[in-house]
Amino acid sequence: MLSMDDLIKAIHTTPIIDNHAHPLLTPFAQTKHDLLAITTEAHGKAMKATPSSLSHLRAVNQLSEILGCEAKWHAIVKATEIEKTRLGHAWAKRCLEGIETILVDDGLDGKDEVFGYQWHDQLTRSKCKRIVRIEKVAEEIIDGLLKNRVAGARDAFATFKHFFRKAIRDFINDPEVVGFKSVVCYRSGLDISTCADSEFMSEFVALFSGLKAQGVTDFKRIDREFINWSLVNLTAELIEESNGHKKPFQFHTGLGDNDITLTRSSPSHLQSFIRKYPKVPIVLLHGSYPWTQEAGYLATVYDNVYADIGEVFPMVSKEGQERVVREILELCPTEKILWKELFYSMGAKEPGTVSGDHMQAPETAAPWLCPKVSIYYTNTSVRFPETYLLAIVQVREALEVVLPEYVRKDALTISQAIKAVENILFTTSNNLYDLRLPLKAFPPSSISFRPRSGIQDLEVLRSFMERHQATKFIRLQYLDYTSTLRLRVIPAKRALSLLQANNHLQIGITKAALGLLQNDSLIPGITPSGEYKLQAMLSSLRPGPTKGFASVQCEFREYDGSEVDLCPRSLLRRTINTAKSQGLQFLMGFEVEIVFMSRSPEGAFMPMAESQSHVWSSARALHGSGKLDLLNDIYDTLLSAGISLEQWHAESADGQYEFVLPPLPPLEAVDTLLQAREIITTVAANHSLRATLFPKPFDNQPGTAAHVHISITSRNGDDPAVYEAFYAGFLKHLPAIIAFTYSKPASFDRVLDGFWAGGRWVAWGTQNRETALRKVAGSHWEFKSLDGLANIYLAIAAILAAGTEGFLDKEKMTWGDCVADPVSLSASEREKLGIRQMLPKDAKEAMKALADDEVLIALLGKALVDRYQEVKKAEFELLAGMSAEERREWIIERY
């Protein structure tokens, strides 16, 4: 049965066909234009007010998150310049991720400033095609007539009409051309009339004679109504009389730059024209904003009309975009709706000036004519790759808001809503332009710029409650510096009421929360004064760990909404964003190793009953009273929380099992790991068992870890130059990272050679389980020196930060591939492999390695590392006051 999650997934993975785009500016041309143009139709002096617009402010927030920079315009400009310098064309490719193909109207701008349409093939999954702008075809022919001094105006008219017809017919037969475009809306408005040929000729003769008399040789543009109307009618006639698939005819409608007369831009003016050419597919571009409902009506009642909703992304506010989607859906069938990316114009040159050299004409044309040329209109359209990025993010956000609303109101089923997504983003354009492309979703991991959810927190929670109606309570959880999972429980109805009054689900919590030990004593220097907001990050909301409850991971916020530098989850999120801004993306999969223990009559922890025959992957480990019931309950509860296990099996220690979680993006993977652990321990408690993450529950048996598998899934992730630099950076800082991954003295009890525990050396090896880092294949490596006592947010943040730094520094992999247990090698053999450094032998040595690693401290933030060290110092002193057996029982009780 389909769920709301399936709809959200479809919104974010359905490929997009951009049915009307313009070519990107070259890097040099981009330096001549203001990046402010990506959110406004204004130009010149009118642009100075742009930074106060809702569309610009939203773009600032979104781009800062994507680029991992400060949410200020100057920081975004600098960050984009860095990306373009570092990545070149690869930056543009990343900005277009999720785009199947673009249909390029290359009839705008000087050709020296833009890339040809075929250049864009490298940015999209499928090859790009052309849209021909008919006014530029006509203007280029007139320009040629003037330059070649055709004498008589009437002769010029006959020649012009001949070559215009021939050019349009050639384009109809050209497989690279999939449609036509008219900007008659700019020239004379959309109230197109039928013109007799005599009127056409009279207007042309008057125009041409006037140009000749003035000695004009560089023709600007056709502004005469009768000529523009005649060109549109003539093109429609040629499309209608063509054989086979009719190529669509696009019309600019609605908003544009200040060259347009807005009152004449409503598509309703086209009604007579639409009726006259019922066989010509007509596309109303740009959402016809602010005439969206008129476009929806025309597309509904006329078989040959289609409505495009593109230009409002990203120029109109979030609410305006959502309103456009709703208005077009009021009447219009989704199979008549298309999407396009927005273009922006700036009057940097004289409108209409033709620039650049002519391309070679077909052999049948006069040598000075170029009816198949790519023609450019130099009212310079400023097209930055960031425009695509914002447009893609925002259209998915708008759909993520509107369509789930319709599902909740029973206006659509989830299946119908998914079909609507596919129609709007892909299928309608694919059929209309006869592209014949297969509908193949992008893998979620291939979308670099997955946007923040467009659904407000209230809508997220309402949707969740509708799907999980048994939920009574919500656990607001956070992981403190001792790796204690702490929480507040609030009734679900209370959570809904809080969200109705606020943008986020937040509760107050003492600032001392990040300075507590496991016995609730405060570390030195911390007092119970001051308060943070504990904010639920509803993207992590899941059912469980038991019936009637749901759990959500939280982050700490100041009262002004700003992030708290000391928050572990916020650190990981920032670290991921930094890596993303440098072109790195990851999938991570955790292995949950856990030991089930019983209690003796005296209350001491002891091996689970009937576990004496327990060995690695044995069938006997599934025998015995209650074991299968326990494991079945764990599986079912995980599944009800949306966690699908990859596999599970018995491990080597008594009562030890491993549950393998699916690969996910890092933050989601960590959130899922915490929820999975809590479900497992809760189910075990219901079976009167203690499930523990204690690293070494039994002296003479293998220990318990939390191995993590890492893959670099961004483009070129499997290039050795990429992943070796990343893992070399990680190994370079591994001694300091151990302070986070082996976070307690008990962690080092399992750091032994010969127990498949990752060993005691800074080393890596292909399929070697006795090295801290095991290479599996390509960029897929497993890190083994990590256990369940770690604050996993801090541990993964340290790993990713160090690896990203290695990638940026192009760190050399000075360690060789160790295929043996390093301890079994001689000193000279280790030296040849670059294995020179041992891991810290205990917690004290690990904390010193961290204190000495200034680079890692700077990456994670000095304030956070200082607080971590202060908590650890106090925690170690607390544990040192216990006997060995007391410490064992104390830790098993808590972890």
Q: Which residue has the higher pLDDT, 407 or 29?
A: 407
Q: At what angle are helices 385-408 and 4-13 packed, to 10 degrees?
A: 160
Cα 712 from chain centre: 15
Q: Looking at residue 368, what is its pLDDT? A: 38
Of 444, 475, 499, which residue constitutes the final position of a domain?
444
The answer to whether position 144 is within a domain reads no
Same domain, 311 and 184: yes
Separation of alpha carbons 389 and 63, rounded Å: 9
Same domain, 462 and 440: no
Residue 491 has pLDDT above 90, yes or no: yes
Sort strands 282-284 and 690-692 into parallel, antiparallel or unpaired. unpaired
Q: Which residue has the higher pLDDT, 371 or 828?
A: 828
Torsion over CA: 588, 589, 595, 596 (sign): positive
174-193, pLDDT tens digit by residue?
999 999 999 998 888 888 98
Average pLDDT over residues 802-824: 93
Count how many domains the chain has: 3
Q: Do residues 768 and 754 make contact, with C-beta atoms less than 8 angstroms apart?
A: no
The answer to whether position 382 is within a domain reads yes
**Using 50, 70 and 90 to split pLDDT, how confident is the model at 528?**
confident
- Residue 691: burial class (beta carbons within 10 Å; 0-12, 13-18, 19+): buried
The answer to whether position 201 is within a domain reads no
**Using 50, 70 and 90 to split pLDDT, how confident is the model at 233?**
very high
Rounded to 5 degrees, φ, ψ at 669 are -65, -40
Torsion over CA: 345, 351, 352, 356 (sign): negative
**Using 50, 70 and 90 to split pLDDT, how confident is the model at 447?**
low
Structure tokens at 639: 């599944």
Q: Looking at residue 307, what is its pLDDT? A: 92
Separation of alpha carbons 83 and 91, rounded Å: 6
Same domain, 523 and 606: no
Torsion over CA: 617, 620, 621, 626 (sign): positive
Q: Looking at residue 126, what is its pLDDT? A: 94
Q: Do residues 444 and 9 make contact, with C-beta atoms less than 8 angstroms apart?
A: yes
Per cent of the chain over pLDDT 90 is 46
Same domain, 602 and 626: yes
Q: Looking at residue 629, what is its pLDDT? A: 85
Separation of alpha carbons 779 and 710, rounded Å: 8
Structure tokens at 312: 């409002």
Q: Which residue has the higher pLDDT, 683 or 759?
A: 683
Same domain, 531 and 620: no
Residue 642 has pLDDT above 90, yes or no: no
Q: For residue 33, give every residue at least 6 positions away whose Cβ sits within 8 Å of its Cβ, in sequence order, or none.
A: 25, 346, 348, 380, 382, 384
The answer to whether position 871 is within a domain reads no
Same domain, 122 and 75: yes
Q: Which residue has the higher pLDDT, 500 or 877?
A: 877
Same domain, 426 and 506: no
Peptide bond connecting 444 to the previous residue in cis, omega within 30 degrees of 0: no
Residue 366 has pLDDT above 70, yes or no: no
Closest CA to 374 of 632, 114, 614, 580: 114
Q: For residue 406, give every residue at least 6 positions away whose Cβ sits within 8 Å of its Cβ, in sequence order, or none.
A: 329, 412, 417
DSSP letter, residue 561: S
Structure tokens at 351: 């409108």
The answer to whether position 479 is within a domain reads yes
Same domain, 427 and 510: no
Residue in the structure block whose two tokens are 């949950």: 592
Q: Do residues 767 and 775 make contact, with C-beta atoms less than 8 angstroms apart?
A: yes
495-522 burial by CB neighbour count: b if 16+ within 10 A, else e? beebbeeeebbbbebbbbbbbbbbeeee
Q: Looking at residue 377, what is its pLDDT? A: 28
Q: Looking at residue 239, what is its pLDDT? A: 96
Rounded to 5 degrees, φ, ψ at 411 are -80, -25
3-state SS assignment for residue 676: helix
Separation of alpha carbons 379 and 382, rounded Å: 9
Separation of alpha carbons 288 and 309, rounded Å: 8
Average pLDDT over residues 27-41: 78
Q: What letter represents residue 190's amino acid?
A: L
First to last CA, the chain: 37
Q: Looking at residue 452, what is its pLDDT? A: 45
Average pLDDT over residues 139-161: 87
34-38, 457-461, 688-692, 753-757: range with lowest mean pLDDT: 753-757
What is the CATH number for 27? 3.20.20.140
Torsion over CA: 72, 77, 79, 80 (sign): positive
Residue 349 has pLDDT above 70, yes or no: no
Q: Looking at residue 607, what is its pLDDT? A: 84
Q: Looking at residue 388, what is its pLDDT? A: 85
Q: How far is CA 193 from CA 230, 298, 799, in A?
A: 8, 18, 67
Q: Looking at residue 446, what is its pLDDT? A: 52
Same domain, 635 and 776: yes
pTM of the model: 0.58
Q: Looking at residue 62, what is its pLDDT? A: 86
Structure tokens at 448: 């670099």
What is the CATH number for 783? 3.30.590.10
Q: For residue 175, give every residue at least 6 positions away whose Cβ sits within 8 Å of its Cβ, in sequence order, or none.
A: none
Angle made by CA atoms 736, 789, 701, in degrees to the nearest 5: 105
**Using 50, 70 and 90 to split pLDDT, how confident is the model at 243?**
very high
Of 444, 476, 502, which residue constitutes the final position of a domain?
444
**Using 50, 70 and 90 to split pLDDT, how confident is the model at 756?**
low
The answer to whether position 570 is within a domain reads no
Q: Looking at residue 741, what is its pLDDT? A: 94
The answer to whether position 473 is within a domain reads yes
* Residue 591, beta-bridge partner list: 660
Q: Looking at residue 263, what is its pLDDT? A: 84
Q: How far is CA 364 from CA 164, 167, 683, 685, 748, in A?
A: 13, 11, 81, 85, 83
Same domain, 95 and 126: yes
Give kind and range of the element (H or E) at residue 183: none
> Most confidently modeled of 301-315, 383-397, 470-484, 609-623?
470-484
Mean pLDDT taken over the chain? 86
Separation of alpha carbons 237 and 278, rounded Å: 11
Q: Looking at residue 359, what is its pLDDT? A: 30
Residue 849 has pLDDT above 80, yes or no: yes
Same domain, 680 and 786: yes
3-state SS assignment for residue 779: coil
The percent of the chain in helix, strand and coil, each rounded to the nearest 5, is 45, 15, 40
Q: How many Cβ atoms are within 10 Å of 619's Cβ, its own excluded?
A: 8
Residue 548 has pLDDT above 50, yes or no: yes
Separation of alpha carbons 585 and 576, rounded Å: 8
Separation of alpha carbons 413 and 408, rounded Å: 9
Q: Looking at residue 38, what is its pLDDT? A: 79
* Residue 181, beta-bridge partner list: 133, 250
Q: Which residue has the higher pLDDT, 350 or 641?
A: 641
Residue 351 has pLDDT above 50, yes or no: no
Expressed as residue numbers, the domain containing 853 is 584-861
Structure tokens at 319: 């609410």
Average pLDDT over residues 522-529: 90
Closest CA to 802 of 713, 861, 727, 710: 727
Same domain, 463 and 440: no
108-117, 430-439, 722-731, 882-891: range with lowest mean pLDDT: 108-117
Separation of alpha carbons 587 and 710, rounded Å: 6
Closest CA to 824 of 754, 756, 769, 775: 754
Average pLDDT over residues 488-513: 90
The answer to whether position 297 is within a domain reads yes
What is the CATH number for 556? 3.10.20.70
Q: Looking at residue 89, what is its pLDDT? A: 80
Of 564, 593, 625, which residue constitutes the final position of a domain?
564
Residue 598 has pLDDT above 50, yes or no: yes
**Using 50, 70 and 90 to split pLDDT, how confident is the model at 92?**
confident
Average pLDDT over residues 821-839: 91
